[in-house]
Amino acid sequence: MLRTILIAVLAVAVIGTGYWGYREHQEKNAILIHAENNYQRAFHDLAYQIDLLHDKLGATLAMNSHASLSPALAEIWKIASEAHSDVGQLPLSLLPFNKTQEFLSQIGEFTYRTAVRDLQEEPLTKEEYKTLQGLYKSAGAIRQELRNVQHLVLENNLRWMDVELALATNDQKEDNIIIDGFKAVEKNVDTFSSSSEFGPSFIGLANEEKGFVRAKGRPVSKDEAKRIARDFLGLKGTEKIKVTESGKGADERFYSLTIHDPKTKGDIYMDITKNGGYPIWVLNSRPVGKPTISLHEAANRGMAFLKRHKFTGFELYDSTQYDNVAVLTFVKSENGVRIYPEAIQMKVALDNGHVVGFTARDYLSSSIPRPLPKPAITAEEAKKKLNPHLKVMEQRQAVIMNDLQKPVLCYEFLGTLGDDTYQLFMNASTGIEEKVEKLESVEPNYE
């Protein structure tokens, strides 16, 4: 009797466990399929977008009327952006797959610029046509490659999850059709990008690094770097300072300092250029207590700090209070002209008014030629070109970097329209609206 009961109980347990295991397995599969489907969608979508991209690029080559060219370029811009987003959803980040994304974003950039230009006034140049032809050719090659991969994926029921696994385990031995296919695409794009088919008009498009053009002077030693840090931060000399030099990948040589003072909580971190020993940035990680000074006072102290360290001709552009810390932005100002690319940001602790952060990266890497050009039109003429509904509150001259990453002298207007505040830059020689921004820095809390 007892035996029968025992057997029955065990049998139920075994069946129960089996069922539970089966359910678990089912659920896991469902989730895997879901993830796999997401990858598949991104991949097939990418293949489709590249198809479309190739066709549209081909069509633009045959177009002659400006009326049809501009919208076609705008459409290519949109397609390139969608393809770019598709690539970002594929598990390829462990693969050197940068070039394809870069290529897509360059197509986007190129077509955007040509699409927004008035092609009636300024038709495509010979070089730009050559670029378009080059893009068409490359897109064709990528399309062919992707179609091939797509075919193999569909034919052999290949799964992206396996790609992810192969990449994660770094399994090089086994051939993976998807990985090989994408490597071929990548190679193709690479040869295209490194050839100069984008033409001279494309120089400066890829975010090129300029380096610290302002950091001139003889190289300083590690000990000198320590001395510079002591002087800049007003240290007492009892602190322990660790200095390391930048690695080979850095655009410019610099020293990284970690300053540890046993008496205070939190270390101070700082980078100093090797050439000339300029402080690039400082961050003090100490906790900041309750505010005792105002934002205004903090801004004054920040300004005094700049003057003390020979950064002259700066004015406060923006100030913001985050809890117990003031974040300040100073910009260079010459004869009333604000030079926005030459900015220095600072953090001032509101508990004791000490500087706890400093960064001059923008200032050190700005190469705006001097003397500044003179405006060709008057402020009144520039003002006439503004939106008539805008109520202008402030105006001045300013230098900004425009869409093409070129410095331009502008008239800057601060104005209001309805409840919003806008910052507008009108080119001081042509009167073109270079940049319009809505200024908003306050967001309601959600609770």
Partner 1 sequence: MERKLVMLMLIGLMTWMHPAGHAAAFSPQVIQRGAVGDDVIELQARLQYLGFYNGKIDGVFGWRTYWALRNFQYEYGLPVDGLAGAETKRKLVNASKYYESFVKEQIRQGNEFTHYGGIPLSKQVKKRGGGGGRTVKTTASNVPKGFSQNDIRLMANAVYGEARGEPYIGQVAVAAVILNRLEHPSFPDTVAGVIFQPGAFTAVADGQIWLTPNETAKKAVLDAINGWDPTGGAIYYFNPATATSAWIWSRPQIKRIGNHIFCK
Which residues in the 371-400 window bind partner 1 by CB under 8 A? 393
Which residues make beta-bridge pairs with 343?
331
Determine which residue in the list 95, 243, 392, 432 makes contact with partner 1, applying CB under 8 A: 95
Name residue 109's amino acid: E
Task: Please identify, using beta-carbon distances, which residue of 225 and 326 lies nearer to partner 1.
Answer: 326
- The reply to whether 177 sits near partner 1 by the rule CB under 8 A is no
Task: Please identify, using beta-carbon distances, which residue of 196 and 294 lies nearer to partner 1.
Answer: 294
Task: Please identify, using beta-carbon distances, which residue of 70 and 226 lies nearer to partner 1.
Answer: 226
Spatial contact of 124 and 17, defined as CB atoms under 8 Å apart: no
- The reply to whether 402 sits near partner 1 by the rule CB under 8 A is no
- The reply to whether 213 sits near partner 1 by the rule CB under 8 A is no
Q: Which stretch binds partner 1 (CB under 8 A): 140-148, 225-233, 334-342, 413-421?
A: 413-421
- The reply to whether 91 sits near partner 1 by the rule CB under 8 A is yes
Determine which residue in the list 40, 98, 144, 275 makes contact with partner 1, applying CB under 8 A: 98
Site for partner 1 in 252-281 (CB under 8 A): 254, 256, 258, 266-267, 269, 271, 281
Name residue 387's amino acid: N
- The reply to whether 161 sits near partner 1 by the rule CB under 8 A is no
3 state SS of 62: helix
Task: Please identify, using beta-carbon distances, which residue of 88 and 234 lies nearer to partner 1.
Answer: 88
Q: What CA–CA distance (Å, rounded) separates 133 from 269?
A: 50
Determine which residue in the list 36, 297, 381, 433 makes contact with partner 1, applying CB under 8 A: 297
Q: What CA–CA distance (Å, rounded) separates 263 from 283?
A: 17
Spatial contact of 330 and 317, defined as CB atoms under 8 Å apart: yes
Determine which residue in the list 144, 201, 275, 416 makes contact with partner 1, applying CB under 8 A: 416
Q: What are phi and psi of 402, to 5 degrees?
A: -85, -170
Minimum gap (Å) between residue 299 Cβ and partner 1? 7
- The reply to whether 174 sits near partner 1 by the rule CB under 8 A is no
Determine which residue in the list 421, 432, 433, 436 makes contact with partner 1, applying CB under 8 A: 421
Spatial contact of 46 and 84, defined as CB atoms under 8 Å apart: no
Task: Please identify, using beta-carbon distances, which residue of 153 and 428 lies nearer to partner 1.
Answer: 153
- The reply to whether 204 sits near partner 1 by the rule CB under 8 A is no
Q: What CA–CA distance (Å, rounded) separates 348 from 325?
A: 6
3 state SS of 4: helix
Site for partner 1 in 345-374 (CB under 8 A): 345, 347, 357, 359, 361-362
Determine which residue in the list 64, 170, 238, 312 makes contact with partner 1, applying CB under 8 A: 170
DSSP state of 117: S
Spatial contact of 218 and 276, defined as CB atoms under 8 Å apart: yes
Minimum gap (Å) between residue 124 Cβ and partner 1? 22
Q: What CA–CA distance (Å, rounded) separates 431 from 381?
A: 8
- The reply to whether 175 sits near partner 1 by the rule CB under 8 A is no
Q: Which stretch binds partner 1 (CB under 8 A): 91-99, 114-122, 331-339, 373-381?
A: 91-99
Task: Please identify, using beta-carbon distances, which residue of 170 and 238 lies nearer to partner 1.
Answer: 170
Give the interface size with partner 1 as a residue count (CB under 8 A). Answer: 77
Q: What are phi and psi of 211, to 5 degrees?
A: 80, 175
Q: Which stretch binds partner 1 (CB under 8 A): 96-104, 115-123, 150-158, 225-233?
A: 96-104
Spatial contact of 332 and 339, defined as CB atoms under 8 Å apart: yes
Q: What CA–CA distance (Å, rounded) separates 299 from 380?
A: 32
Minimum gap (Å) between residue 65 Cβ and partner 1? 31
Q: What CA–CA distance (Å, rounded) separates 261 from 288?
A: 16
Our measurement of the distance from residue 28's CA atom to the centroid of its chain's CA atoms, rounded to an integer in Å, reads 37
**Which residue's entry shows tokens 């050190």?**
364
- The reply to whether 289 sits near partner 1 by the rule CB under 8 A is no
Determine which residue in the list 69, 76, 77, 84 makes contact with partner 1, applying CB under 8 A: 84
Task: Please identify, using beta-carbon distances, which residue of 18 and 88 lies nearer to partner 1.
Answer: 88
Which residues make beta-bridge pairs with 320?
327
Cβ neighbours of residue 430 under 8 Å, at least 6 residues apart? Answer: 376, 377
Determine which residue in the list 29, 196, 294, 387 makes contact with partner 1, applying CB under 8 A: 294
Q: What CA–CA distance (Å, rounded) separates 405 from 403?
A: 5
**Which residue's entry shows tokens 């300092």?**
257
Q: How far is CA 313 from CA 61, 100, 335, in A?
A: 51, 44, 9
Binding mask 100-139 for partner 1 (x = CB under 8 A): -xx--xx--x------------------------------
- The reply to whether 188 sits near partner 1 by the rule CB under 8 A is no
